[in-house]
Structure 1
Amino acid sequence: MTVLLSGRWSAAEGERWAQLLREAMPEEQWLLHPPRNAAEAAAVEVAVVANPEPGALSGLPNLRLIQSLWAGVDRLLQDPSLPPGVPLARMVDPAMNEAMVHTALWAVLSLHRRFFELQVQQRQALWQAPPQLRAAECTVLVLGLGELGGRTAQTLAGLGYAVHGWSRRPRELAGVQIWQGEASLAQALAAADIVINLLPLTPQTRGFFSAERLAQMRPGACLVNLARGAHVDEAALGAALDRRHLRHAVLDVFQQEPLPPDHPFWPHPQVTVLPHCAAQTDPRTAVPQVRVNLAALRAGQALAHLVDRGQGY
């Protein structure tokens, strides 16, 4: 099969992906540039992509599969030229999942034990120990209980935290109190000391953390956003932090990336900024996932991790 590799990345990153993919699947014909003529376009049966430029997948009449190298597919789905009817598979990378759990755990531990405030005290030469609450006295709400959210919730529960999870669909997770549906959301937010956002970005979740929803959170609670910047009304979050309704925010994603140097979150004492690095796809473990799906396509078997375009994930 001819496989088109297309993405928005640095030259070095693109070369690394191309090398690993070709080494893992030497039987495929890899097209590492946009098709230059109708014959090349007609030959493409699979597109392996990493947020390609809009329109990059149009004009491929024999395309049978779009395999994303990233877990999120919201940018792909926003491209009006995305070929309709072609199966779209997202990446479920075990190494990325593990990294996300580690970042969420670091954030929860730092907020629970007030380590971010201790960093500020160090700069002030202030020797003052904070209260030491038990993990069971800290309620953590995980929004979104898919692959990432489910693992994060269960890991935190295993460490003794009082873990709640919220999902639109019915879920069961050992050691996790589940809230389901829109009707329960305000109550779930009000019960949590720390809220971790791992929701997919869909039309329904865009702007999810509005001023109204932030006001539903428990006074003194903390927000950890590891999903998408478009989930958060940044002005409303800044206002909630400034008036001390929320204690702290750990943010890995933003509406504009890189975060502009003059953005108020950079110097904000109650905000921890991460440069979209909470969990990155690891080519060493992601490439085998691509190989499995291409083999399934060739054999006419079921494809893994297909996206429901109507749901957006």
Structure 2
Amino acid sequence: MNIIFYSPTRARSQQWEHHLKAQGLQFNAQHWDAETTPSGDGEADYAVVWQPPEQLFQHHTRVKAVFNVGAGADAILKLRSLPDHVRIVRLDDEEIGNKMAEYVLYMVANITRSMDCYTMAKANKDWAPAPYAHFSDWPIGLMGLGKIGQQIAGMLSSLGYPTSGWARSPRDLNGVNCYHGADQFVDFLGASRIVINVLPLTDETTGILNTQTFSHMPRGSYIINIGRGEHLDETALLPALDQGQLAGAVLDVFRQEPLPESHPFWDDARIHITPHISGATNLALAMKQIAAKIAALHVGQTISGIVNRRTGY
């Protein structure tokens, strides 16, 4: 069995190889990264990658399955060189969902309880409690009700936040007011003072956080984007903030990463920036899962997590 690894750096892909072999998987390893040419002999049977280039699958033409080291497979779906028969496999990692839920809870509390004000208060030695924040005053909407969206929605609902969710197709979730389809999108937005985006990136969802979307939210609302940078129309955000339609934004993902030093978002206090860390992958658990799935595929067994190329998830 031959496995090709790709990451932006060789050191990271070598870590992946080490973890897979620690699971007892027997294979010949090849590495391809942005700085060097492939190592090893023979074409690969499987690929373990993060944001691979077109050239990888032009060189390795007999790959049976591609394992994405992360939750979203949008970077792989864009590749024209990947044949239709090749299975794309995403991580089924509950810990990623838990970490993203933890991130959201922190950011929601920071918004609803005005936690930033205490940093300034401490600097001024000012004992100044903020007004009591009622859960009922902060209805929250989840854009995307896949596994991660459901985890986040369930957590927020259990705490007492009025929680809504919007998805492509109907959902029925306990404690969550579910909307679906284009016809119900405006109603969903109107019911959400904080909108959290966890949608997969597809042609239909690219740029969905835009001027029109913001206009349907209550004035003075907030957005939290932990999906993909391409979900946000960056040219629409600052005008929405300047006009008061939005009061603030939490952004963990960007169209260009790292975010350039010259980007205006850095200098705007209304925009909270984190460096794509909301759903950091537990490497050991991810490789344990990938090793088990490769072993299963290699003997003809079925596995979970295969991406539907039509829907993008």
Shorter chain as normaliser: what TM range? over 0.9
Task: Give the Cα separation in 1 of the matches to 2:234 and 2:287.
Answer: 35
Separation of aligned partners in 1, 2:28 and 2:57: 17
Question: Which residue identity is paired with 2:27?
Answer: E
**Does structure 2 retain, via aligned residues, the 8 Å contact 1:18–1:32?**
no
| 2:263 corresponds to | 263
TM-score, length of structure 1 as denominator length: 0.92
Counterpart position of 1:298: 298
1:203 to 1:126, Cα distance in 2 relative to 1, 3 A: farther
Residues 113-139 of structure 1, C-alpha deviations (whole Å, 9 max, x = no match): 111344455567766543212223310
Give the aligned partner of residue 208 of structure 2. Answer: 208
Give the CA deviation at 1:218.
Answer: 0.8
Report the counterpart of residue 30 of structure 2 in structure 1: 31
Equivalent position amino acid for 2:300 in 1: G
Give the match for residue 40 of structure 1: 42
Partners of 2:171 and 2:58 in 1: CA distance: 37
Equivalences for residues 83-232 of structure 1 within 5 A: 83-119=83-119, 128-232=128-232
Counterpart residue identity of residue 303, structure 1: I
Cα distance in 2 for partners of 1:188, 1:213 equals 10
Q: Distance in 1 between matches of 2:149 and 2:255?
A: 21
User: Counterpart amino acid of 1:40?
Assistant: G
Corresponding position of 1:309 = 309
Q: Secondary structure at the match of 1:284?
A: helix
SS in 2 for 1:257: coil
How far apart are the structure 1 equivalents of 2:5 and 2:56? 10
Task: Give CA-to-partner distance per residue, 1:56-100, whole Å, 9 cap, x none.
Answer: 122333321111111111111112112221111111222222111
User: Which residue identity lines up with residue 27 of structure 1 in the other structure?
Assistant: Q
Give the direction of change, closer, same or farther, for the CA distance of 1:155–1:66 in structure 2 (3 Å limit): same
- 1:133 partner amino acid: A
Map of 1:66 onto structure 2: 66
CA 1:109–1:35 in structure 2 vs 1: closer, same or farther (change >3 Å)?
A: same
Letter in 2 for 1:93: D
Partner of 2:79: 79
Could you tell me how far apart the structure 2 residues matched to 1:167 and 1:306 are?
Answer: 20
TM-score, normalised to structure 2, is: 0.92
State how far apart, in whole Å, the 1-side matches of 2:251 and 2:120 are.
18
Corresponding residue for 2:3?
3
More displaced 10-residue stretch of structure 1: 252-261 or 199-208: 252-261
Partner residue, 1:15: 14
Contact 1:55 1:82 (C-alpha < 8 Å) held by counterparts = no
Query: Partner letter of residue 23 of structure 2?
Result: A
Superposed CA RMSD: 1.9
In 1, are the aligned partners of 2:31 and 2:39 still within 8 Å (CA)?
Answer: no
Is 2:63 the partner of 1:51? no
Q: Distance in 1 between matches of 2:118 and 2:208?
A: 30
Per-residue deviation, 1:209: 1.0
**What amino acid does structure 1 have at the position aligned with 2:227?**
A
Q: Give ranges in structure 2 of 5+ residues lacking alignment.
A: none
Distance 2:118 2:219 in 1: 21
Is the Cα contact below 8 Å between 2:166 and 2:188 reproduced in 1? yes
CA distance in 1, matches of 2:61, 2:13: 25
Q: Which runs of 5+ in 1 are unaligned?
A: none
Q: What is the number of residues matched between the two proteins? A: 309
Within 1, Cα distance between the matches of 2:235 and 2:61?
A: 44
Distance 1:264 1:147 in 2: 33
Distance 1:93 1:147, change over 3 A: same
**CA distance, structure 1, for counterparts of residue 143 and residue 118 of structure 2:** 27
- Offset from partner CA, 1:139-178 (integer Å, 9 cap, x none): 0101101111000000111111111111111111111111
- Partner of 1:106: helix, strand, or coil? helix
Q: Does the residue aligned with 2:67 lie in a helix, a strand or coil?
A: strand
Task: Please give the alpha-carbon distance, in whole angstroms, between the structure 2 residues aligned to 1:183 and 1:72.
Answer: 26
| Alpha-carbon distance between aligned partners in 1 of 2:56 and 2:124, rounded to the nearest angstrom | 52
- Deviations along 1:264-302, one digit per CA (max 9) or x if unpaired, are 111212110101111111111101210221122122111
Instruction: State the Cα distance separating 1:188 from its structure 2 match.
Output: 0.9
1:206 maps to amino acid: T
Identity of aligned residues (%): 32
- Distance of 2:172 and 2:291 partners within structure 1: 31
